[in-house]
A and B are shown apart, each in its own frame.
Chain A
Amino acid sequence: MAATTTATATEQARPAFALSGKAKEAIKVGLAIVVTYWLALKFSWMSPTWAGIAVAVISQPGEGQSLYKGLLRAIGTFLAFFSSLALLALFPQDRWMLFVGVSPVLGFFAYKMKGENDYLWYVAGFVTVMIITAGPQQPGHAFEFAAYRTMETLIGIGVWAVISSLLWPVTNLGALKSATDALLDAQAQVTQHGLELISHRGATGSPPELLAQEAQLVAKVGSLINVAASETYEVRVVRRSWMALQQASLKFMHISNRLRLGAEDLEQIDMDAVLPGLPDLSAELDARFAEARSLLAGKPSARSCRDISLELDRQAIEPLDHFQRAAVEVARTELEQLDAQTRKMVASLRDITGEEGQVAEGKAPPDAKQLRGPAGLRPIDRDQLVAAAFVVTSLWASALVWIYVNPPGHVAWVQFVPTLALAAMRVPHVRFFPLRLFVYAYLVGVVVYVFIMPHLSGFVQLGALLFLFTYLTDYYFAVGRMPLLLAMFIMLGITNQQSYDFASMANNYLFTMMGIMMAFGLTYMVGSPRPEKAFLHQTQRFFRSCEFLVSHLQPPASFVGQVREAYYRNVLRTLPAKMRVWATRIDAKAFPNNSPEQVAGLLEALQLLAYRIDDLLDGRSASAAKVLAGELGDSVREWRAVVDQAFHQWSEVPEADPRPELMERLSRHVAELNPRIEELFTHSGRAEISDAEGRSFYRLLGTYRGVARAGLVYAKQARAVDWAEWREERFE
């Protein structure tokens, strides 16, 4: 009764008019823009637009998200400040040498522009170009320009930080917790589906939507940790544990994917009989996820992790042939890894909630599976190299246009076109979608500039216009708000000595459109903007990497060999994820013969191949590999030749069907290998082969078999896709 009375009282106390979350965010952004412009105009700073742009770019829903982005923008601006002034000092009065000097710097920034901190390098890139080309606009004032640019960016960030933390503050801690909870829930379901699939209790495994949700949540939790840590002390002190939890979830996702995709290898095997501990493991994993979610909700720890034995049943495994035993061994290893990762998740959550009193500090743990080349160097990323080359080319192309043609826009060509090039390379699959928004925003800007602005007098009227425009944009165009605001602020060009010149505005508009067209035209040097074409090229690149790795299985001794191997392994690990992004952009309506489900099936087959080849390379140094290479050398060579040939064919024609030949040769191969392995075991005496060696041998044999099986799965999926339809020419 008391509770009802309180609820009724709260309802009565609630005002009749309440602002929605969207309206509150829009008011905050509008207010921050007005305050920033007021400060910049009051103190007569060089270009008030810069401060306004800083607010427009960093203002995101949730305080921490903005602060983190603001931090990246500030660091990027500082980087650009120092690098551009150093370049100006090194090459004064020599424009060609200056461009030669800035090219590697800009290329480096463009190369680094990937991962979660890509925004930092993007800002560093375009601000560097802006500062080095400030000279021709205001000779002798490059330092002043650089200093103002940096200061106004920081002021914009500061104003937004104050307003967003004082007015209707929103924290991301709740978002982080709810995303983590959803992730744990999704992973619990994926685990149960996966275990049912391998023990033949469930026919299909996890639905694709659940898998997509899991991948999105892993990425979301990863980005929210930094965001929440930048605003909340509670997250910052246990950031390492949050990172460990996210890493464990990420690894868990990869391992459960391997298990699910490799389930076909176990279809003839009664897994419950071979691994009697499987039902126990299933129940234990379920209980661990429930425990983790309970810890996250703030409840005390109710149980500790139980040890589950995954010993093989000797009687049940006896009738299996060697390849089936190998498949069981691969699955067993993956189940043990699932067990280990869920333990880590629970332990990390205990740390986070302070259960064990081991609040960790310091840097996040490095990802053990992160690929490194020789001397600990990161492998070269071809896509990033292409991005760097493209951005530098755009710098030179625009510089030549400015110097030799000098159309409207003048030196701004050198600032605008490379900035567009950097933006295009940040999200290559989106290409020029945001630029359409720029075009519309400029049109609106023209109307405001011509018909409204000349009638304004004083900051009160200007502030009202800025607030109204920002509010409406933020409220009604949440998706494209940033390019819309940027384009408007650039177009209005607000300064203390405001003058109106239709010719200059028309020239500005013309220059912008020509710059966009030039940048768009230049993107063709990176490749066709059509996603299906990019997908085709990536498939061929994937198989070229497979071919190289399978034909060079011996660990390379030379430095160059190690660099090449690291490069191709990196392609194999990263390309399926990139292809997935491109695949989502393929217009299913334009290609009715290739449904999104077919493309998803193809991607799954490629992912399985990538996993199996990665396993093969990981296991090649084991002692079992020496047994395989020594005693079964000719058979392994034969196997490699078969697989190598298939990869070569697919790298040239992705839909090539070597399946009948592959099947026939591999079946013959398996039939030959089985008695030979039996002979090897008999000859050496089983007692001489320890359990560990036996496991290692079967695991490696399982990965060899897995690669061939994954190839067959790909061939089956590839036959269902209409590749000719994707190859057909179309207008973009």
Chain B
Amino acid sequence: MFDLVPNEFAIGGVYLPPLLVCSVLGLILATATANLLNKYRLARYFFYPPLVFVALAVIYTVLIGTFIIRA
């Protein structure tokens, strides 16, 4: 399914590095996850949410980079 997702993105003839796209998507997904965890009061189970947010962003970036936008 993900084979249709391009590896490189070009805007006006300028190529964007796949890692940049992955990290932007990773940040968006991490923000959405954090909002959901806040909404259902699940964030209280974490010791330090700011670090969890960073970890989520990294995990999402790696997952997107590995399975969806393959560099």
Residues in A lying within 8 Å of B, measured CB to CB: 450, 502-503, 506, 510, 524, 590, 728-732
A730 vs B43: C-alpha distance in the bound complex, in angstroms? 5
Residues of A within 8 A of B44 (CB): 728-730
Residues of B within 8 A of A729 (CB): 43-49
Residues of B within 8 A of A728 (CB): 41, 43-44
Chain A binder among B1-9, B30-38, B62-70: B30-38
Is there contact, CB below 8 Å, between A731 and B35?
Answer: yes
One digit per residue, 1 when the CB lies within 8 angstroms of any chain A CB and 0 when it does not, for chain B 1-44 equals 00000000000101000001000000000000011011001011
Is there contact, CB below 8 Å, between A506 and B38?
Answer: no
How far, in Å, is B54 (CB) from chain A's closest CB? Answer: 9
Is there contact, CB below 8 Å, between B14 and A506?
Answer: yes
**Given A729-B47, A730-B43, 7 other A-B residues pairs in contact with their CB atoms under 8 A:** A450-B12, A502-B14, A590-B38, A729-B44, A730-B38, A731-B50, A731-B52
List the 6 closest pairs (A to B, CB-CB), nearest first. Answer: A731-B34, A728-B44, A731-B49, A730-B43, A502-B14, A729-B44
Residues of A within 8 A of B48 (CB): 729
Is there contact, CB below 8 Å, between A730 and B49?
Answer: yes
How far, in Å, is B25 (CB) from chain A's closest CB? Answer: 15
Residues of B within 8 A of A731 (CB): 34-35, 37-38, 43, 49-50, 52-53
What are 11 A-B interface contacts by the 8 Å CB criterion?
A450-B12, A502-B12, A502-B14, A503-B14, A510-B20, A728-B43, A729-B44, A729-B46, A729-B47, A731-B50, A732-B49
Residues of A within 8 A of B52 (CB): 731
A728 vs B41: C-alpha distance in the bound complex, in angstroms? 9
Residues of A within 8 A of B35 (CB): 731
Residues of B within 8 A of A510 (CB): 20
A730 vs B38: C-alpha distance in the bound complex, in angstroms? 6
A524 vs B52: C-alpha distance in the bound complex, in angstroms? 14
How far, in Å, is A524 (CB) from chain B's closest CB? Answer: 6
Residue in B closest to A450 when the chains form the complex, CB atoms: B12
Residues of B within 8 A of A502 (CB): 12, 14
Residues of B within 8 A of A506 (CB): 14
Residues of B within 8 A of A450 (CB): 12
Is there contact, CB below 8 Å, between A524 and B50?
Answer: yes
Residue in B closest to A724 when the chains form the complex, CB atoms: B44
Residues of A within 8 A of B46 (CB): 729
Residues of A within 8 A of B43 (CB): 728-731
Residues of A within 8 A of B53 (CB): 731
Residue in B closest to A590 when the chains form the complex, CB atoms: B38
Residue in A closest to B44 when the chains form the complex, CB atoms: A728
How far, in Å, is A257 (CB) from chain B's closest CB? Answer: 37
How far, in Å, is B55 (CB) from chain A's closest CB? Answer: 12
Residues of B within 8 A of A503 (CB): 14
A674 vs B16: C-alpha distance in the bound complex, in angstroms? 82
Residues of B within 8 A of A590 (CB): 38
Residues of A within 8 A of B41 (CB): 728
How far, in Å, is B17 (CB) from chain A's closest CB? Answer: 10
| Residue of A450, A729, A732 contacting most chain B CB atoms (<10 Å) | A729
Is there contact, CB below 8 Å, between B12 and A732?
Answer: no
How far, in Å, is A526 (CB) from chain B's closest CB? Answer: 13
How far, in Å, is B11 (CB) from chain A's closest CB? Answer: 9
Residues of A within 8 A of B37 (CB): 731
Residue in B closest to A502 when the chains form the complex, CB atoms: B14
A506 vs B41: C-alpha distance in the bound complex, in angstroms? 38
Residues of A within 8 A of B34 (CB): 731
How far, in Å, is B29 (CB) from chain A's closest CB? Answer: 13
A510 vs B20: C-alpha distance in the bound complex, in angstroms? 10
A143 vs B70: C-alpha distance in the bound complex, in angstroms? 50
Is there contact, CB below 8 Å, between A732 and B50?
Answer: yes
How far, in Å, is B64 (CB) from chain A's closest CB? Answer: 18
How far, in Å, is B43 (CB) from chain A's closest CB? Answer: 5
How far, in Å, is A510 (CB) from chain B's closest CB? Answer: 8
How far, in Å, is B70 (CB) from chain A's closest CB? Answer: 22
Residues of A within 8 A of B47 (CB): 729
How far, in Å, is A575 (CB) from chain B's closest CB? Answer: 26
Residue in A closest to B37 when the chains form the complex, CB atoms: A731
A56 vs B40: C-alpha distance in the bound complex, in angstroms? 43
How far, in Å, is B61 (CB) from chain A's closest CB? Answer: 14
Residues of A within 8 A of B38 (CB): 590, 730-731
How far, in Å, is B7 (CB) from chain A's closest CB? Answer: 19
Residue in A closest to B16 when the chains form the complex, CB atoms: A506
A524 vs B48: C-alpha distance in the bound complex, in angstroms? 11
Residue in A closest to B20 when the chains form the complex, CB atoms: A510
How far, in Å, is B24 (CB) from chain A's closest CB? Answer: 10
How far, in Å, is B57 (CB) from chain A's closest CB? Answer: 10
How far, in Å, is A731 (CB) from chain B's closest CB? Answer: 4
A731 vs B51: C-alpha distance in the bound complex, in angstroms? 10
How far, in Å, is B35 (CB) from chain A's closest CB? Answer: 7
How far, in Å, is A307 (CB) from chain B's closest CB? Answer: 61
A728 vs B45: C-alpha distance in the bound complex, in angstroms? 9
A688 vs B50: C-alpha distance in the bound complex, in angstroms? 68
Residue in B closest to A731 when the chains form the complex, CB atoms: B34
A510 vs B44: C-alpha distance in the bound complex, in angstroms? 33
| Residue of A450, A590, A730, A731 contacting most chain B CB atoms (<10 Å) | A731
How far, in Å, is A647 (CB) from chain B's closest CB? Answer: 30
Residue in B closest to A451 when the chains form the complex, CB atoms: B12
Residue in A closest to B46 when the chains form the complex, CB atoms: A729
Residue in A closest to B53 when the chains form the complex, CB atoms: A731
A265 vs B53: C-alpha distance in the bound complex, in angstroms? 50
A180 vs B37: C-alpha distance in the bound complex, in angstroms? 48
Residues of A within 8 A of B12 (CB): 450, 502
Residue in B closest to A528 when the chains form the complex, CB atoms: B50
How far, in Å, is B50 (CB) from chain A's closest CB? Answer: 6
How far, in Å, is B51 (CB) from chain A's closest CB? Answer: 10
A510 vs B17: C-alpha distance in the bound complex, in angstroms? 12
How far, in Å, is A346 (CB) from chain B's closest CB? Answer: 54
Residues of A within 8 A of B50 (CB): 524, 731-732
Residue in B closest to A505 when the chains form the complex, CB atoms: B14
Residues of B within 8 A of A730 (CB): 38, 43-44, 49
How far, in Å, is A547 (CB) from chain B's closest CB? Answer: 29
| Residue of B20, B48, B49 contacting most chain A CB atoms (<10 Å) | B49
